[in-house]
Amino acid sequence: MPPLLARRAPYKDFLQPELQKRFAFTAAIVLCLAYLEALTWSTWDSFIWSWIPLGLPGLRAFAIFVSVLPVVILRIAHSHVGIRTSNSPFETILGSILPFSTTETILTFAFSAWLFSQTYLLSSPEGAELRWITHFTGDRMRLNEQALFFTVNVILVGAVQGILHISLDLDRMLLGTVKPKREGQAEPIPSDVTAAVLGKWFPIVLMRSGMLAVGISLVNYVVLYHFLRRSAWAWAIWIFRFRYNLPRTNIPPSVGPWSLWMLGRSIWASFLLCFIWNFGGMAFRLRLGKEPLKSDHPLTSDSKDPNGSLLNGLKSKKPRISAFAMWELALIARDFDVRRQAMYEDIDRKDGPMWSQLYVLCQSAIKTLEQRIDDYGKPPAPAPGSQAAPAPPPPRERVVKPPTDAVVWASGSAPKSPAASKYTSPGKTPAEELRKRAAKVADQLMTKEQKEALRPEAVNTLFGTLSHRVLGMPVIGSVFQQCFRRRFAKALLGSPYGDVSMYANAAYALSQLAVCSLAEDKYGNVQRDVPAIVRTFTIVIKKLEKFQDDFPFHWTDLEQERECPEASELLAALKDGLGELITAFGPYSSDLRLSRADMRLAKEAAEKKDAKAEKKDAKAEEKGSAVERAPEMQQLS
């Protein structure tokens, strides 16, 4: 009886618990911030009960944490890998209006702000006069407009924060790329990195939270509440009538809640809410984007079949799982000798040796870039399930016989009389007559300069000048500019999201596994694939550099700088990997059937150019080509 094979656990069974631990750590940070903010609400009547967590400060901290929790859950649900690719910010806005996720995000932030505002109102002392209902003599009660103004202000801050959350793409997960270790370079401890980044961003988050709170509160105090006051009062009094005996009138009181004391309260509460949102979100992004390691070992180390679980993650259709699995593979290729050697020796798998499957997966990821470069500018291919066009139907049999030669060459009817032709001829349309008269009047009234200004060439030049002035405006113009970086990243990485780490880690893992096979591959399975790896890296680097040099500028791009950090990171990863392959396998090139031409092209592709010199040459070339294209550009403008 053959031995039972161990069940290959899916990669997500190891990734999900680790992500949940990171979420718990982030929640603990948010809870600590909530406790610190709750201390600012204490009256400090008692030295002990004003800060002890078992009293009111603990309840307030828990209430603040519950109010922020919907935003944290939203970030988990909407998190994605890769940058958001689009040609311009305006295209991003159009693509973000229709999806339900946009409405969900804004409503979630507004709901979180409402919960926070009610917690603040309930925690305020009686002397602050921030209760919803104020009591007069007897049974007379009235709705307190100061509480209404405060709630509206905080909800507006939440809605604006939701819009900023979408526009800044704060749901993106910051995944890293593995780079070769240099001699004498110490590996930083992940916890130290997280603390250092949080310490660096602390004053920035503090300033942004204060600016947003002050800005929205002032706008609401001066402008917005005047328009929202009547409808907000009607809704509030309709809700509270179910419990309290309020007046029947829906008209707000004559004296409004405008005062510097109320404005200061609103700014302070809005600042506390924005700070816990932003700082908690920053901690969440940093913890969620940590390396896929558990106790300084790969996540799949606890699996009964570590290689099988890793393959399951690499083959996953979900971008998040496959990106983390590729990141783990790159870390194994660099730091974990035992796991790396186990991959070379794993040759009895159902779908082929472990190395062969890794080779196919990494090569396909790298060749995806080449495929996008080749397909750019081509019409989209038809769907694979589309059927061929149906054959044209056979010609129908004529009901009426075709005319004979006698009928065709027969003499026509007798000519009409002049009077009859006058009334039966089509003549000229009224539009033609009006066009001629307008041309004559314009020719008589307009001067020569006015005629020159209405020529098509002059109109196009005027339109181009106005367009460039609008595009040059600081805020409005940048929304419509299609800069080189955005368009090139979309063409290279795809849309709506493009992940650089997936391709960079695939290139590093493939090259590092090939280099380490010289000393660790006992069966020699890797060496037969080395020539294909070298040629693939060479071709992709050459095509990517040529694609970047020849990629056209859009007429709205005023800077026209041929720079794209995402492409530069990919080129650096490919060049580093190819350089290590040339160094390791150069002496054995003839045995590997790599010709001199292959090695020469590979060395040219792996050569790193000086960024400053390359930028200077590119600008000089662009100036020269701009001079040559001057007549053409004048016609286009």
Scan for tokens 């660096």, then name that residue.
200
Q: Is the dihedral of CA 486, 489, 492, 494 positive or negative?
A: negative
Q: Assign 389 a pLDDT band (cuts: 50, 70, 90).
A: low
pLDDT of 137 strictly over 80: no
Q: Which residue has the higher pLDDT, 548 or 412?
A: 548
* Residue with the two structure tokens 């919960």: 115
Residue 634 has pLDDT above 50, yes or no: no
Percentage of residues in the chain having pLDDT higher than 70: 77
Q: Which helix (H) or strand (E) holds 365?
A: helix 354-375
Q: Does the pLDDT of residue 458 top 50, yes or no?
A: no
| pLDDT, mean of residues 184-207 | 73
**Residues in CB range of 310: below 8 A, 6 or more apart:** 11, 298, 300, 325, 328, 329, 332
Residues 575 and 560: their CA atoms lie apart, in Å, by 26
More reliable by pLDDT, 251 or 343: 343
Query: What pLDDT does 192 receive?
Result: 58
On the 0-12 / 13-18 / 19+ scale of CB atoms within 10 A, 566 is buried
Could you identify the residue written with the tokens 């505002």? 117
Query: Between 574 and 440, where is the model more confident?
Result: 574
pLDDT of residue 138: 59
pLDDT band (50, 70, 90) for residue 515: very high
- Residue 327 predicted with pLDDT over 70: yes
pLDDT at 377: 79
Q: Is pLDDT larger for residue 539 or for residue 242?
A: 539
- Flag whether pLDDT at 153 surpasses 90: yes
Lowest mean pLDDT among 238-252, 485-499, 527-541, 553-567: 238-252
Q: For residue 540, what is the DSSP state?
A: H
pLDDT of res. 107: 96
Q: Which residues contact 448 (CB under 8 A, 6 or more apart)?
A: none
Q: Please answer whether residues 85 and 92 qualify as being in contact, where contact means their C-beta atoms are separated by less than 8 angstroms.
A: no
Look-up: residue for tokens 């004498």? 184
d(C-alpha 610, C-alpha 626), whole Å: 24
Rounded Cα distance, 236 and 155, in Å: 14
Is the per-residue pLDDT at 420 higher than 60? Answer: no
No. of helices (H) and no. of strands (E), the chain: 25, 8
Which pLDDT does position 635 carry in this prediction? 36
Query: What is the pLDDT, as a whole number, of residue 536?
Result: 95
Looking at per-residue pLDDT, the higher value among 539 and 615 belongs to 539
Q: Check whether 349 has a pLDDT greater than 80.
A: yes
CA distance 379 to 387: 18
Tell me, what's the pLDDT at 446? 62
> What does the pLDDT average to over 620-626?
45
Q: Which of 268, 271, 273 is nearest to 130 (CA)?
A: 268
- Answer yes or no: are the C-beta atoms of 366 and 213 closer than 8 Å: no
State which amino acid sits at residue 132: W
- Of the listed ranges 175-184, 392-401, 540-549, 585-594, the least confidently predicted one is 392-401
Length of the chain measured in residues: 637
